[in-house]
Amino acid sequence: MEKNEKVVVDLEGNSVRFNGVPESFRVNSIHVSPPMDGLVHFYIEDKQLVLSLTEEELTEVLSRARKEEITPSQKDFEISQIGLVYKLLVDSLEVINVSDWSLQTMFTIVNGERAKLTIGPNCEYNDCVYLALFSANGFIYYLKIRFSDGSFEVSVFRITPSVLENELVFHMLNKTFRLY
């Protein structure tokens, strides 16, 4: 059991619970919590390190991380009674994003399972951004959807676990030593 000021990490076999809440995903030795009270927690098992970031900090880390933009091999967009349904085929993963008009929310389904780590949609005036993170094929995938005044942009990125781990550690070191 590892402890940080805000989170208790319990290792149960190959999975982790953050304050009793199951991880949203794991890739290699990185375990990632779902958003909890505005924070996303990371447990790097081989270093026994717990890092906590706000959703805004996580967005910054993801924007700085070296990533590869993936072009979906198939796209399908439809307007249904629930809202907008956007289907993508990325690296043999079926990704479905639903913008639910009745609840004014968005959610993402990857290969039939709902993504547990999502941020947003966060909106300023008519510009909204939604993020979903999930792991597959030994990578971390980062889905970013921006919609503004009738335009709808979807980007999918692939990040290696070591790149994310390095960015998280650099971010926490910079924050601790107030380098920015």
Q: CA-to-CA distance for 169 and 167, rounded, in angstroms?
A: 6
153/74 same-domain check: yes
Q: What's the pLDDT at 157?
A: 95
Whether residue 121 is preceded by a cis peptide bond, meaning omega within 30 degrees of 0, is yes
91/53 same-domain check: no
Q: What's the pLDDT at 84?
A: 83
Beta strand 151-159 with 68-70: parallel, antiparallel or unpaired?
antiparallel
- Residues of the chain above pLDDT 90, percent: 53
Q: CA-to-CA distance for 132 and 144, rounded, in angstroms?
A: 7
49/70 same-domain check: no
> Contact 169/30 with Cβ under 8 angstroms?
no
59, 79, 102 — which closes off a domain?
A: 59
Report residues of the chain scoring pLDDT below 70. 1-5, 101-103, 150, 179-180
Q: Specify if 165 maps to a domain.
A: no
146/128 same-domain check: yes
Q: Specify if 150 maps to a domain.
A: yes
> Contact 26/34 with Cβ under 8 angstroms?
no
Prediction pTM value: 0.86
The residue segments making up the domain with residue 44 are 1-59
34/110 same-domain check: no
Q: Closest Cα to residue 154, out of 81, 70, 61? A: 70
112/52 same-domain check: no
Q: Specify if 90 maps to a domain.
A: yes
177: left (phi over 0), alpha (psi -120 to 50) or beta: alpha
55/72 same-domain check: no
Number of folded domains that form the chain: 2
Q: Specify if 124 maps to a domain.
A: yes
Q: What's the pLDDT at 103?
A: 64
Q: What's the pLDDT at 3?
A: 45
Q: Specify if 144 maps to a domain.
A: yes
